[in-house]
């Protein structure tokens, strides 16, 4: 049976007042048993949001709301005021499991009503918060709210576990990784995590993986693309990946600067962790992996990665004419399924470059240790990132990012 949907998707409506939204509220009221409401691609003012909230809270059958790109052109103080009407209304809906608030300039100014809601909405299963301009401080508040939600779910004996968190393109950075680690450690039934393009460096990646996801045995999809791993992140991944063998379907760590050494570490981990019976997608493009690392990954394709359907290796440091490429393609052809992406942007490595990379890795690790020591000494000093977040949030107030 098809879901009953009410949609204003991409109509580019500018709804400021209760009168502006009245015709659409009338339409919504007529939909009995509505399960999905999609209001994305419009712009709602405070008064219109208040009128909408009064109707939404009565729609007890709602399972999903899409509020993405819903506040284009609104002032910084308007967005939290809108959320202060809308989000409490959603708390009244016992089966509302999926919420999308992507592409709204929330930042620091609107994170408090959002965090309050997230810590209380026990039916929540799937949360999509991509491109919201959080920064590390607001991002940490969101993560802490989701950590608190795990306890609220337990106390309420909610039948719904948090299964999906998508929070890409939000400048989460290292500064929020302890909070996100605590979030995922608390929500042990998590199945899908996408934190791509967040400026997370190797120390943050290490914390996230070894502290937050070490016991996430139900994890199916992990997307950390366009962050920074280096060898440190690769070693952290190698440490925890054996815990994900049974359920993992997709692993995305493309454009993460694994390095040649990191590629070897990952290749060995894939070989030694045990079989991945459900792993179908492996994204490793633009990671400076060389032929040695690819040889190990190819060995894993024969033994532990027998169900791979998509392997992405473009932009790494081996030739598209290397014999190993033929071996991978032959393997997929023999199996009757599987695909290697187009290797149109490859870069062969030289011994000199490898030596430079080893030195660079060692320097990065030394710098990281130095920064950690400095941070410990400066624990009581103001954090510069907070001022930066305020400034950026102010600039973003009138933008839909």
Collapsed DSSP state (helix, strand, coil) of residue 307: coil
361 confidence band (pLDDT: 50, 70, 90): low
Beta bridge partners of 85: none
Task: Supply the Cα-derived Rg of the chain in whole angstroms.
Answer: 23
DSSP string, 142-199: HHHHHHHHHHHHHHHT-S----EEE--SS--TGGGHHHHHHHHHH-TT--EEE--SS-
pLDDT-derived band at 364, boundaries 50, 70, 90? low
Taking residues 371-388, report their average pLDDT. Answer: 36
Least confident of 138-147, 261-270, 294-303, 367-376: 367-376
Are the beta carbons of 161 and 187 closer than 8 angstroms? yes
Distance, in Å, from the CA atom of 68 to the CA atom of 291, rounded to the nearest integer, reads: 42
DSSP 30: T
Q: What is the pLDDT of residues 60-85, one digit of tens each?
A: 999 999 999 999 999 989 999 999 99
pLDDT at residue number 320? 95
DSSP 42: S
Residues 6 or more apart whose CB falls under 8 angstroms from that of 323 comprise: none
- 334 — phi, psi (to 5°)? -65, -35
Q: What are phi and psi of 270, to 5 degrees?
A: -65, -30
* Per-residue pLDDT reduced to its tens digit, 296-306: 999 999 999 99
CA 81 → CA 86, 266, 267, 364, distances in Å? 9, 47, 50, 44
How high is the mean pLDDT of the chain?
Answer: 90
Those residues whose C-beta lies under 8 Å from the C-beta of residue 93, and which sit 6 or more positions away, are 56, 57, 59, 60, 62, 123
Residue pLDDT, tens place only, 100-118: 999 999 999 999 999 999 9
Local confidence band at 3 (pLDDT 50, 70, 90 cut-offs): confident
Phi and psi dihedrals of 252, rounded to 5? -115, 105
Percent of the chain topping pLDDT 90:
85
Mean pLDDT of 230-236: 98
Nearest-angstrom CA–CA distance, 262 and 361: 10
* pLDDT above 80: residue 318: yes
Confidence tier at 400 by pLDDT (50, 70, 90): very low
How many H-runs (helices) and E-runs (strands) does the chain carry? Answer: 13, 14
Tokens of 215: 């016991």
Residues across the chain: 401
Residue 169 and residue 171: Cα distance in Å, rounded?
6
Whether 126 shows a pLDDT value over 70: the answer reads yes
pLDDT in tens, 186-200: 999 999 999 999 999
373: left (phi over 0), alpha (psi -120 to 50) or beta: alpha
368: pLDDT strictly greater than 80: no
Answer yes or no: is pLDDT of 353 > 60.
no
pLDDT, residue 347, reads: 82
Triad 166, 168, 174: Cα angle to 5°: 110
């Amino acid at each position: 049976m098809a879901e009953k949907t009410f949609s204003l998707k991409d109509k580019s409506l500018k709804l400021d007042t209760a009168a502006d939204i009245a015709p659409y509220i009338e339409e919504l009221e007529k939909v009995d048993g509505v399960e999905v409401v999609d209001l994305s691609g419009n712009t709602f003012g405070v008064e219109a949001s208040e009128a909408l909230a009064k109707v939404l809270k009565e729609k007890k059958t709602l399972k999903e709301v899409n509020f993405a790109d819903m506040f284009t052109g609104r002032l910084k103080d308007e967005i939290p005021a809108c959320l202060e009407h809308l989000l409490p209304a959603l708390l009244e809906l016992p089966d509302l499991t999926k919420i999308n608030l992507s592409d709204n300039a929330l930042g620091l100014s609107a994170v408090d009503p959002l965090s309050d809601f997230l810590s209380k909405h026990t039916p929540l299963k799937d949360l999509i918060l991509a491109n919201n301009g959080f920064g590390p401080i607001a991002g940490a508040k969101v993560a802490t709210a989701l950590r608190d939600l795990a306890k609220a779910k337990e106390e309420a004996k909610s039948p719904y576990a948090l299964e999906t968190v998508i929070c890409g393109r939000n400048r989460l950075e290292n500064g929020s990784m302890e909070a996100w680690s605590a979030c995922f450690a608390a929500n042990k039934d998590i199945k899908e995590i996408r934190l791509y393009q967040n400026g997370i460096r190797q120390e943050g990646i290490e914390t996230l993986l070894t502290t937050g996801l070490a016991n996430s045995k139900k994890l199916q999809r992990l997307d950390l693309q366009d962050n920074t791993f280096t060898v440190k992140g690769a070693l952290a991944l190698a440490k925890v990946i054996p815990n994900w063998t049974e359920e993992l379907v997709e692993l995305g760590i493309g454009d993460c600067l694994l390095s040649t050494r990191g590629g070897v570490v990952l290749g060995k981990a894939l070989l030694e962790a045990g079989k991945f019976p459900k792993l179908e997608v492996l994204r490793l493009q633009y990671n400076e992996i060389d032929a040695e690392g690819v040889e190990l990954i190819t060995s894993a394709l024969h033994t532990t990665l027998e169900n791979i359907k998509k392997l992405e290796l473009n932009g790494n440091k081996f030739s598209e004419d290397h014999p190993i490429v033929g071996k991978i393609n032959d393997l997929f052809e023999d199996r009757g399924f599987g695909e290697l992406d187009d290797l149109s942007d490859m870069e062969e490595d030289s011994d000199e470059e490898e030596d430079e990379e080893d030195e660079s890795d060692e320097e990065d690790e030394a710098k990281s240790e130095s920064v950690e020591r400095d941070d410990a000494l400066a624990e009581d000093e103001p954090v510069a990132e907070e001022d930066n977040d305020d400034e950026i949030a102010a600039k973003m107030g009138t933008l839909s990012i």
